[in-house]
Amino acid sequence: MPLMSDLSTRMGSFFSSGYDAIKTSGKRKAASSVLKHEEEQLKHRDRKALVSTGRDLNRNYSVVAWAVRKHLDYVSQFNFQSRTGVEEFDTTLEKLMREWDRPANCDVAGRHPFSRIIRMAEARRTIDGDVFLIKRSSGKLQPVEGDLIQDPPDRSVNHSWMNGCKVNSEGRALAWGLHKRSTAGQYEFQKQVRSSAILQHAFFDRFDQVRGISPLAAAFNTYRDCYEGVDYALAKLKVEQLFAMVITDTSSDGMGEHTKTGDGYDVSFGKGPIKLEMDPGDDAKFLTSDNPGSSTQEFLNMVLGMALKSLDIPFSFYREDFTNFFGSKAAFMQYDRSCKSKRDDLQDLLRRITVWRMQLWIQDGELRLPQGMTLRDIPFEWVPIGMPWWDPAKEIKGDLMAIGAGLDSPQRVCRERGRGEWEDNVRQIAKAQAFAEEMGVNITFSADSQQPTEEEQPEEVDEEVDEVEDESDDKSPEDDD
């Protein structure tokens, strides 16, 4: 009975412990039990170190720079479309947006077009955690990198400041502390910018978070280890190349006595292939090394694949030969789904910028709203650039079947495939048909006009086979003899 009692006590202690994740042991690092505000987890000094690490990796490590560019290719490219249905207004608004896209019209420094500002803003958000755009009264944007937003030297006692943001009791942003760079990496305070005049574009994970944090932060150490590991492997490879050949002497007198030049063999590979005659017992061989070995390469690939997951990028994007066509297509579909929330963030930023610019155009008399509409009634859209067909012959047929069955629409297919707007395509086709008719050329754009392939003609082959079979059946036994 004492044994059963002791066993019952042990089992009770085991099952009453709750979650294994909270158990501490000497085998793994214990997580802190202190729960803090996210801004307390990354204060100003630590934030600067994190941003500096990200910028250094993006500047010097090609894999990180490539991953960021690939992320931007799928997330930050949009086309503006006005959707009021009033052709004159839509044409005017789209024309104003195209003109404003020019560097002299949208950038306070006159350096970047609006499309590039958006791409660079997403890059800063990805590497630094957040970025800011100040709406100037001139109708231009002033981009501000995240490290320039800091607490002012004379912080107000009536409101709390968190990493450069003044918030009220509900955590709503009231103002931002804008600084500029001075000499030797120092900062100089400029002014407080009210929150209504500045747009923040950031990565958020928690509700009480004020400043954004880069998703790459979880992979910074992994990237740095890979970067340094590759450098060490290359350094080792270079050292090995300096010692190309080893000569072994088995005599008791050292390197040799009478057939060698000087104290040993003098061998030069500078003039092409050579013949080396050696004394009996001497041996020469080249140093060879599997550096880095296959296991090291596999491990580095695995680690890089883990690091790329910080941006949801599939490993098949990094190594195109990693999988087959269907694996690549499945990976892309999963990645494209993960990009939706990131595009939504950019579309919200673009929406706020567009509304601000429309207000200014209306005030300046450059834009007149359609009769009966207010600014809130104006529908517009920033359409992401789609992905073209991987296998056009099959996928176009599938799209046509989905449209015919009412499961999709021409407008959605054109957007997803990056083929512009369906209405514009129809207008261009009508112009092409009218021009062809004028020139006396008969053209058709119907998918049914394509000639069937050999795979689509099994019936003709079957008929020929049947005819051969019939002829064989008509043969008499004497014919076989």
**What global pTM score does this model have?**
0.76
Instruction: Tell me which residue has tokens 């296998």.
Output: 391
Burial of 336 (0-12, 13-18, 19+ CB in 10 A): middle
Instruction: Tell me which residue has tokens 């599939």.
Output: 314
Question: Lowest-pLDDT range, 12-26, 82-96, 301-315, 396-410?
Answer: 12-26
Q: Higher-confidence residue: 56 or 390?
A: 56
How high is the pLDDT of residue 121?
Answer: 97
Q: Is the pLDDT of residue 455 over 60?
A: no
How high is the pLDDT of residue 259?
Answer: 42
In this structure, the strands spanning 130-135 and 198-202 are antiparallel
Contact 55, 217 (CB under 8 A): no
Burial of 295 (0-12, 13-18, 19+ CB in 10 A): exposed
How high is the pLDDT of residue 273?
Answer: 65
**Quick one: pLDDT band at residue 301, thresholds 50, 70, 90?**
very high
How high is the pLDDT of residue 402?
Answer: 84
Q: Is the pLDDT of residue 342 over 70?
A: yes
Question: What mean pLDDT do residues 162-183 have?
Answer: 92
How high is the pLDDT of residue 3?
Answer: 53
Question: What mean pLDDT do residues 381-402 have?
Answer: 81
Q: State whether the Cα torsion 252-255-259-262 is positive or negative.
A: negative
Question: What mean pLDDT do residues 236-262 have?
Answer: 57
How high is the pLDDT of residue 267?
Answer: 65
Domain ranges for the chain, please list them: 244-286
Q: Give the list of residues 6+ apart from residue 203 with CB closer than 8 angstroms, or none.
A: 125, 126, 129, 130, 212, 213, 214, 215
Q: Higher-confidence residue: 386 or 304?
A: 304
Question: Lowest-pLDDT range, 13-17, 49-53, 83-87, 209-213?
Answer: 13-17
How high is the pLDDT of residue 213?
Answer: 96
How high is the pLDDT of residue 447?
Answer: 60
Question: What mean pLDDT do residues 220-242 have?
Answer: 84
Write the secondary structure of the chain as one string of H (helix), E (strand) and C (coil): CHHHHHHHHHHHHHHCCCCHHHCCCCCCCCCCCCCCCHHHHCCHHHHHHHHHHHHHHHHHCHHHHHHHHHHHHHHCCEEEEECCCCHHHHHHHHHHHHHHCCHHHHECCCCCCHHHHHHHHHHHHHHHCEEEEEECCCCCEEEEEHHHECCCCCCCCCCEEECCEEECCCCCEEEEEEEEECHHHCEEEEEEEEHHHEEEEECCCCCCCCCCCCHHHHHHHHHHHHHHHHHHHHHHHHHHHHCCEEEECCCCCCCCCCCCECCECCCCCCCCCCCCCCCCCCEEEECCCCCCCHHHHHHHHHHHHHHHHHHCCCHHHHCCCCCCHHHHHHHHHHHHHHHHHHHHHHHHHHHHHHHHHHHHHHHCCCCCCCCCCCHHHCCEEEEECCCCCCCHHHHHHHHHHHHHCCCCCHHHHHHHCCCCCHHHHHHHHHHHHHHHHHCCCCCCCCHHHCCCCHHHCHHHHHHHHHHHHHHHHCCCHHHHC
Question: What mean pLDDT do residues 257-265 have?
Answer: 52
**Quick one: pLDDT band at residue 392, thresholds 50, 70, 90?**
confident
Q: Higher-confidence residue: 273 or 254?
A: 273
**Quick one: pLDDT band at residue 311, thresholds 50, 70, 90?**
very high
Distance (Å, whole) CA 250 – CA 256: 9
Task: Please write the tens of the pLDDT for every residue from 401-441.
Answer: 888 888 888 887 777 776 777 777 788 888 888 888 888 88
Question: What mean pLDDT do residues 208-217 have?
Answer: 95
How high is the pLDDT of residue 288?
Answer: 63
Counting residues of the chain whose pLDDT is more than 70, the rounded percentage is: 76
